Every structure is written in structure tokens, then in C-alpha cells.
Chains A and B, each alone.
Chain A
Amino acid sequence: MAGALVIRGLSKSFGAFRAVEGVSLEVAPGHVHSLIGPNGAGKTTAFNCVSGFLKPDAGQVLLDGRDVTGWAPHRLVSAGMARTFQITRVFGELTVLENVALAARSQEGMNLEMWRPAGSVATAQARALDILTTLGLADRAESNAEHLAHGEKRVLEIAIALALQPTVILLDEPTAGMSSGETERIAALIRSLSARASVLLVEHDMEIVLGISDVVTVMTQGSVIASGPPSAISRDARVQEAYLGVTAAVGAAC
């Protein structure tokens, strides 16, 4: 199965400020890999470097062996990488179905088709409806995307990403601003995604992350301090210190 994402020695500075330094991690195919760390750790910067929204100063990003470092976002999509956004950026004035169909048509290479009406691309429409049904949004298909609840918009973002038929999905703080009920739903959804693609997600919430990930990488102040399965990470002294500011001894007692 495809979807191996390898990041090596990623670095990015803004002037004198080293936001990301020498970050490396590997997402194995079919895994859910979480990148987590306190505020200002540099996770978002690293994430943007991988997904083509920032140009890294150094380092490599390899997607299934291909060097895609510094590629523009639209090229990364054709290479099999899709991402969602922390601040949802669905196309509000379009319907939910249209949002997904747009991505589906893009994936089918129809972006330069100037004659046929967009709605007549049956394959895209069918696939879009399919994805929406799987994700439980089919009943909102004809609503304008801007009228969706926050949690539904998040799901829509994932639907759009899926329409691109990626081998790796990058999720940017997928549970931000969600109620606990919605969070559960999203967490289950993310777990189910790993059947189709590898998932790299950036998150704050340690609890969720420990529950759904196969591998967790922890960053603080621009560097990786720990990486491994959730059980190891939750016991890692340095992680606890970074997050909770407590000493290892106290941590062990908890």
C-alpha cells in the first residue's frame, strides 16, 4: 500500500527565529501519525512546509520515495498528498456536494475542460455523493456549505480531501473548536481513514492523540523530543515535562 511519508531534517527560520529545526519523522503506510506539541512548538510551521505552503530552508520530504520537497500545493495533490485547514476553508457559497465534486473533478484532471457543464461530469458527482454518504453528510448535500455547523464543516474538509484520492492525508488540528461529542465522531472518522490512506495530523489535545494514533511525534521549540507509540510517549518524562512542566518523579507517580 502506498502512503509512506518521510520527513528528514526539516528546518525553517523566520529571520533570526528558528521555528523548525531538524525535524524528522516517518509515516508508515496506513498509519495514523500524530504530530503534537505545546503552543509555539513549530508544528504548524512544519506542517505548512510539508504541505507546500511554506518553503523549507533545509530538509527533505519524500512521498513514497519521491522527493517532493518544496513542491507547490497543487503538485503535491497530484502526487497524492491532500490536506485540511485548521480554519475551515470550504467554499461557502457552493453546496456541500459541489465542494466535494469540485475536488473530485480536479482529481480527474478536468480543470481545463471548458465545454461540458460541470454538473454533467457524472463520475465526479457520483464519487462526491459516495464520499458524503460514507462520512454521514449526504443529507446536507444540497445545503450551502456556509450554513453547516462547525463540526460538519470539519467533516466536509475531510470529504474534500478524500475526493482527491490521496495516499497521505494531512489534517491540521482537526478537532479544534469542537464539542466533546463532535470530537469523538471525528476521532472515529480519522481512525477509519487509515484504511484508505496514511494520516499525519497536527494536534493539541494529547488525549485524543493517544487514543487514535499508531505513532506520536512530540515537538517543542522547533525540535522533536520524542517519537514512538502512544504508550511509550505517555510515559516519556521529557514529554510530560514539556506539557505539564512536572518532574519525572511526579509524573511516574501519576
Chain B
Amino acid sequence: MRKTAGLRGLVLPLVAAGILAILPYAGASPFTITLLTESLIFAIWAMSLDLLVGYTGLVSFGHAAAFGLAAYAAGYFAREVTGDFFFALLVAEAVVIPVALGFGFVVARVSGIAFAVISLCIAQVLFTIAVTWRSVTNGMDGLVGVPLPRVAGVTLASGNAFYLLTVLCLVAVYLWLTRLVDSPFGRTLQAIRTNEERAASIGIDVHRHKWLAFVLSWAVAALAGTLMVFLKAGTTPMSLHWTESGNVLIMTIFGGIGTLLGPVLGSTVFVFVRDEFTTRFKAWQFVFGLVFVVVVLLFPTGLVGAVNRIRSFLWRARS
């Protein structure tokens, strides 16, 4: 049973990826493609948060830190040295991972509200640095002039080309993370989420695992940040602001934590709805807050959870 599940687990994502890849050539407008690119980047970012929140049980209010830090690092490198995507990504990881190792070691000692508050503080520190260190970050005006990305020497000049790169990244991350959460390591994370003390009593080194989960989640978020800085040809300190952390949190929760697929759905819905709203109504922030509150109160399992509940309800209704 394990083997076929593994194969089936591969087929669906690949089919979905295929559908996504064809969209630009099946009549989707360039604007839709750009929005979709943004959603898929957020999807990667949200999945990385889900690893922390949904699988390890650590709710971070500062996940923008990883995202924004990577954006700045990759963007700066691309502007000053070369726009090669993979090198920029390498640089972003080279900056983000050591920082995550440092912060993660400290922050992994706590959980719950303390973790939430400290993660918020970390992001705020980076935000303040981004705003203040004008010589490097250009302050509130942000980093500009990031060139078009290049992959293996080919410049990705069209939106479609970059979109395809994003789809590729999303699929790779999704496959890897689904593998990860099903591994013994993933299971121990879930055990930690359920009950830290119990996990410790069966020999799990809780601190080390939380630390690792933190670093892995930042590493994946860094990919999202790198993609974003190329998409927007730059970044501002707002990519580190706690409102951004709030955005990715709602995407993840709304989609359904602990499912990996949930965050993907959540971010797509979020980006498209936000786009609709901000162009039409002024009350985006209010609606955003309302949805957040409703989801937390009534649908803590998010979209995916709601779908599952409907499915099992229909199943029971049938039998």
C-alpha cells in the first residue's frame, strides 16, 4: 500500500503542475499570469510556514523575516554582481541559513506565545535595520534596479518564462515537503506539536528538532523571497513588516494548516481576492481582518479542513 500511495502522491502534483504550466498558452491573460506567479511564490512561502505551524506547532508572527531577508540578499547580489537566478538563490540561502541557525537555536527553547512574540521581535529588528541602514538598503525607498533573472545563461525576459520557473520551484518544494513530513523526521515534528513533553519522553531531542524545523522553514521561505525580488525587480522594508507576516499567516491558516496543500490554495485565494478588493473597495484591511477572525473562530482547519468535513459528511449521508 505504501508504494502505490507514493506513486499516486507523485501523479497528482505533476498533473496539477502540467495544468498550471499550460495556462499561459491556453489563453490566460498576462495579468492573470503575473497574479498567479505572485500566488505561487506566496504558496511556497506559506508552505514553509506550514512546516513550522502545522507540523511542528510553532506559530510564527515573524515569518516575513526570512522572506524579506532573502529578497534583500538576492536582490542586492543580482544588482551588484549577476542576475543569475541560481547564484542569487545561493547567496540568499547563504545569508538566511546562518541567521536562521543563530535565531533558531535561541527561539527553539520556547513555544506558544513566547515563540510568537520573539519571532515578531526578530522580524521587527530586521525591519528596523532595513529602514535605517540606508547605505545598503536604501531605507524606506527600498532596493531597486534588480535586473531580469537569468537561468543557465538565458534571460527570462517574459512573464511566462518566469512563471514557468516559479511553477517548477513550487512543484519541487511541494514534492520535497510532502516527502519530509512523511519521514521519521516529519513524524517526530508532529509528535512535538502534539505534546512536547511526551515527545521528549520517547527520546526525541525536542530542542534540536524545533531548531531544524525553523532553519528548514526559513530556507524554503528564502526561495520564495528570491523569486519575489526578481518578480518585483526590487523590494522594500515592507517585505519584513509584521503585516506581511500576518498575510502569510492568514494564507496558511485559511488554506488549512498541517496539509501543505492548504497553504497553496490559501495563497492563491488570498492574492486574487486581495487584487479584486483593493481595486474595487477601500475596505480591504477590514475584510481581511474579518476573514481572519472568522477563520480562526469557526474554521481553524481552514479550506482543506472544511472540504474534508464536507466530504465526510456527504460520505456519511450516503451510507
- Is there any pair of Cβ atoms, one from A and one from B, under 8 angstroms apart in the complex? yes
**A106–B2 touching, CB < 8 Å:** no
A106–B205 Cα distance when bound, in Å, is: 10
Cβ-based interface call for B268 (8 A) = no
Bitwise interface map of A from 105 to 138 toward B, beta carbon under 8 Å scored 1, else 0: 1110011111111111100000000000000000
> Which B residue's beta carbon lies closest to that of A83?
B201
The residue from B6, B180, B194, B204 contacting A111, defined by CB atoms under 8 A apart: B204
In this complex, the interface size class of chain B, counting residues with CB under 8 Å from chain A, is 20 to 34
Cβ-based interface call for A228 (8 A) = no
Instruction: Say which one of B129-137, B182-190, B241-249 lies at the interface with A.
Output: B182-190
Cβ-based interface call for B203 (8 A) = yes
Chain B, range 21-71, C-beta contacts under 8 Å to A: none
Residues of A within 8 A of B201 (CB): 51, 73-74, 77, 82-83, 85
**A115–B203 touching, CB < 8 Å:** no
Cβ-based interface call for B232 (8 A) = no
Cβ-based interface call for B279 (8 A) = no
Residues of A within 8 A of B206 (CB): 74
Chain A: residues with Cβ within 8 Å of the partner, total of 36
Residues of A within 8 A of B195 (CB): 89, 91
The residue from A85, A118, A164 contacting B183, defined by CB atoms under 8 A apart: A118
Residues of A within 8 A of B191 (CB): 91, 102
A167–chain B nearest beta-carbon distance, Å: 14
Residues of B within 8 A of A164 (CB): 202-203
**B198–A91 touching, CB < 8 Å:** yes
Residues of B within 8 A of A102 (CB): 187-188, 191, 202
Residues of A within 8 A of B180 (CB): 114
Cβ-based interface call for A93 (8 A) = yes
* A74 and B185 in contact, given A91-B195, A120-B2 (Cβ under 8 angstroms): no
> Which B residue's beta carbon lies closest to that of A115?
B183
**B179–A105 touching, CB < 8 Å:** no
Count contacts between A and B, CB distance < 8 Å.
87
A90–B182 Cα distance when bound, in Å, is: 20
Cβ-based interface call for B125 (8 A) = no
**B194–A73 touching, CB < 8 Å:** no
Residues of B within 8 A of A116 (CB): 183-184
**A73–B183 touching, CB < 8 Å:** no
Residues of A within 8 A of B275 (CB): none
Residues of B within 8 A of A86 (CB): none
A106–B2 Cα distance when bound, in Å, is: 21
Cβ-based interface call for B209 (8 A) = yes
**B6–A74 touching, CB < 8 Å:** no
Bitwise interface map of A from 134 to 151 toward B, beta carbon under 8 Å scored 1, else 0: 000000000000000000
B51–chain A nearest beta-carbon distance, Å: 12
A143–chain B nearest beta-carbon distance, Å: 17
**B205–A74 touching, CB < 8 Å:** yes
Given A85-B201, A92-B194, A115-B183, 17 more pairs with CB closer than 8 A: A73-B201, A74-B201, A74-B203, A89-B195, A90-B198, A102-B187, A103-B202, A106-B202, A107-B203, A111-B184, A114-B183, A114-B186, A117-B182, A118-B184, A118-B186, A118-B187, A121-B184
- Which 7 residue pairs are nearest across A and B when measured between Cβ atoms? A77-B203, A73-B200, A106-B203, A110-B184, A89-B198, A113-B184, A103-B202
